Amino acid sequence: MKIAIVCYPTFGGSGVVATELGLELARKGHEIHFITYSQPVRLALLNPNVHYHEVNVPEYPLFHYQPYELALSSKLVDMVKLYKIELLHVHYAIPHAYAGYMAKQMLKDEGIDIPMVTTLHGTDITLVGNHPFYKPAVTFSINKSDFVTSVSQSLKDDTLKLFNITNEIVVIPNFIELHKNVDVASIPCRRSVIAREDERIITHISNFRKVKRIPDIIKIFYKIQQQIPARLMMVGDGPEKEKAERLCQELGIIDKVIFFGNSNEIDTILSYSDLFLLPSETESFGLAALEAMASGVPVISSNSGGLPEVNFDGISGYLSDVGNVDEMAENALKILSDGIILDEFKSRALATARKFDIKNILPMYEELYNKAVNIH
Ligand code: GMT
């Protein structure tokens, strides 16, 4: 099938999911066309089934805001016609579902009826899309999509609660490509650059936005390192990073915390981690937690949003109420203080991640695509 994938090309989870999905579909023989404003960070183009079409928005001084949606929908129309694309799969409702719908309408005018699948990822519903300024357009574009998917049951419930949705929402969880994880044989020498042999390595990876509750991570780590030798690896970049650095300074732990910035070596970093922290205010799914578990790293997370669908209490890690840093630190110490317990959690985290293997999830998307194409 010839499929256009529209996504954000940045380090965010929705872009990662869209890219990995497209790459796996391409490996299975589908022809995939990524359409976005720059090359997605995890996209390697050495594959004959993978195309990337850049959306250019010419700067014009009259515009206070450059019209990206217009450029995107025009590009979609042109690419659908040029490559005879059969289906649009847009990731993140804003503004992709809206632009996709416009493209559909323009194509209809030319006698081309193309189905559109919209995947809701989280913040497009819970944080941004829910804003009164966007709500009518988001509701409209969800209802006008041919098929709508959400990455967790929790996100589906939130969408139905917050918007007046007349369309069915199919839950297709996020996934992980398990076999690509790093060869553990190469770990010890790399690990020694980061930490001493007796230190536990604790990791957090995110876009450092408020919703991630970055100060909670520092506070949890502060309590952990009072009890056992440990290091914290903070991977990613965003508005809360400087504040986090200052807090580490104030607490006197800056020499035990490494701020990496954005990295393309997530799998390597995770391969020598002992514990992953994700105490978010909300998380529709928590792809970063799943990536950690796929590397055999147990997770201490909050119990909000879709996190209980990914991280299982007492099995792959522990879950606590948002903000309960004392309990999160206690649970972290339960896992980290005993090597045998740590190994048990590590193997259960990996076993839990296996349920989300891309091989199990991809057929769900393919089934939906077939339905969508056959209806049209
Ligand atoms: O976590 C973020 O803030 C980035 C955001 C995104 O749009 O890329 O992530 C959302 O989508 C991911 C992929 O489906 C989910 O794993 C994240 O849980 C979700 N983030 C939130 O709901 C806050």
State residue 174 phi and psi, 5-degree precision.
Answer: -65, 170
Give 3-state DSSP helix, strand, coil % of the chain, rounded to 5: 50, 20, 35
Q: Are residues 371 and 257 in the same domain?
A: no
Report how far ligand 1's centroid is from the alpha carbon of 352 (Å): 20
Q: Are residues 24 and 150 in the same domain?
A: yes
- Whether 96 contacts 72, CB under 8 Å: yes
A 10 A CB-CB count for 375 gives 10
Q: What SS3 state is found at 28?
A: coil
Packing angle of the helix pair 93-109, 68-83 (nearest 10 deg) = 50
Report how far ligand 1's centroid is from the alpha carbon of 32 (Å): 23
Tell me the mean pLDDT in the region 125-133: 83
Q: Are residues 149 and 247 in the same domain?
A: no
Tell me the mean pLDDT in the region 115-124: 94
Token pair recorded at residue 250: 């104030």
For ligand 1, whether the C-beta of 302 sits within 6 Å is: no
| Atom of ligand 1 lying closest to residue 280 CA | 23
Cα–Cα distance for residue pair 169/111, rounded to 1 Å: 28
For ligand 1, whether the C-beta of 23 sits within 6 Å is: no
Cα–Cα distance for residue pair 116/149, rounded to 1 Å: 11
State residue 4 phi and psi, 5-degree precision.
Answer: -95, 130
Tell me the mean pLDDT in the region 140-162: 96
**Longest CA span, the chain:** 68
Domain containing 216 equals: 178-354
Task: Please give the tally of structural domains in the chain.
Answer: 2
pLDDT, greater one: 22 or 39: 22
Report whether pLDDT(150) > 70: yes
| Atom of ligand 1 lying closest to residue 119 CA | 14
Q: C-alpha distances in angstroms, 122 versus 3, 64, 262? A: 23, 28, 21
Residue showing tokens 């990073």: 241
- Whether 155 contacts 285, CB under 8 Å: yes
The distance in angstroms from the start CA to the end CA of the chain is 14
| Atom of ligand 1 lying closest to residue 305 CA | 22
For ligand 1, whether the C-beta of 120 sits within 6 Å is: no
Q: Are residues 13 and 152 in the same domain?
A: yes
For ligand 1, whether the C-beta of 284 sits within 6 Å is: yes
Cα–Cα distance for residue pair 113/375, rounded to 1 Å: 10
Instruction: Return the best residue to mutate from 90, 92, 94, 121 for the ligand 1 pocket (most ligand atoms within 8 A of CB).
Output: 121
- Whether 12 contacts 40, CB under 8 Å: no
Per-residue pLDDT, 185: 53
In total, the chain counts a number of residues equal to: 376
Per-residue pLDDT, 220: 98
Report whether pLDDT(277) > 70: yes
Per-residue pLDDT, 130: 78
Per-residue pLDDT, 227: 98
Q: Which residues contact 68 (CB under 8 A, 6 or more apart)?
A: 37, 55, 57, 95, 99
Q: Are residues 121 and 226 in the same domain?
A: no
| Atom of ligand 1 lying closest to residue 288 CA | 16
The amino acid at 239: P
Instruction: Return the best residue to mutate from 124, 287, 290 for the ligand 1 pocket (most ligand atoms within 8 A of CB).
Output: 287
Report how far ligand 1's centroid is from the alpha carbon of 328 (Å): 22
| Atom of ligand 1 lying closest to residue 287 CA | 16
Q: Are residues 54 and 157 in the same domain?
A: yes
| Atom of ligand 1 lying closest to residue 10 CA | 8
72-81, 170-179, 247-256: least confidently modelled range: 170-179
Q: Are residues 231 and 127 in the same domain?
A: no
Instruction: Return the best residue to mutate from 10, 14, 213, 356 for the ligand 1 pocket (most ligand atoms within 8 A of CB).
Output: 14
Residue showing tokens 């989280």: 122
Instruction: Return the best residue to mutate from 284, 293, 356 for the ligand 1 pocket (most ligand atoms within 8 A of CB).
Output: 284
Strand partners, 120: 150
E strand spans, the chain: 2-6, 31-36, 50-54, 87-91, 116-120, 147-150, 169-171, 200-205, 230-235, 257-261, 275-278, 299-302, 317-320
Report whether pLDDT(330) > 90: yes
Report whether pLDDT(310) > 70: yes
Q: What SS3 state is found at 50?
A: strand
172-176, 187-191, 260-264, 286-290: least confidently modelled range: 187-191
176-190, 203-217, 253-267: least confidently modelled range: 176-190
Per-residue pLDDT, 54: 96
Q: Which residues contact 327 (CB under 8 A, 6 or more apart)?
A: 320, 321
State residue 117 phi and psi, 5-degree precision.
Answer: -105, 130
State residue 56 phi and psi, 5-degree precision.
Answer: -105, 135
Q: Are residues 113 and 199 in the same domain?
A: no
Q: What SS3 state is found at 34?
A: strand
| Atom of ligand 1 lying closest to residue 122 CA | 22
Per-residue pLDDT, 191: 81
Q: Are residues 208 and 273 in the same domain?
A: yes
Cα–Cα distance for residue pair 273/233, rounded to 1 Å: 9
For ligand 1, whether the C-beta of 225 sits within 6 Å is: no
Report how far ligand 1's centroid is from the alpha carbon of 297 (Å): 20
For ligand 1, whether the C-beta of 285 sits within 6 Å is: yes
Per-residue pLDDT, 155: 97
| Atom of ligand 1 lying closest to residue 126 CA | 22
Report whether pLDDT(318) > 60: yes
Q: Are residues 170 and 186 in the same domain?
A: no
Q: Are residues 98 and 113 in the same domain?
A: yes
Report whether pLDDT(182) > 70: no
Per-residue pLDDT, 65: 86
A 10 A CB-CB count for 147 gives 21
Q: Are residues 313 and 197 in the same domain?
A: yes
- Provide the ipTM: 0.97
What value does the mean pLDDT of the chain take?
94
What confidence category does residue 265 fall into, taking pLDDT thresholds of 50, 70 and 90?
confident
CATH of residue 77's domain is: 3.40.50.2000
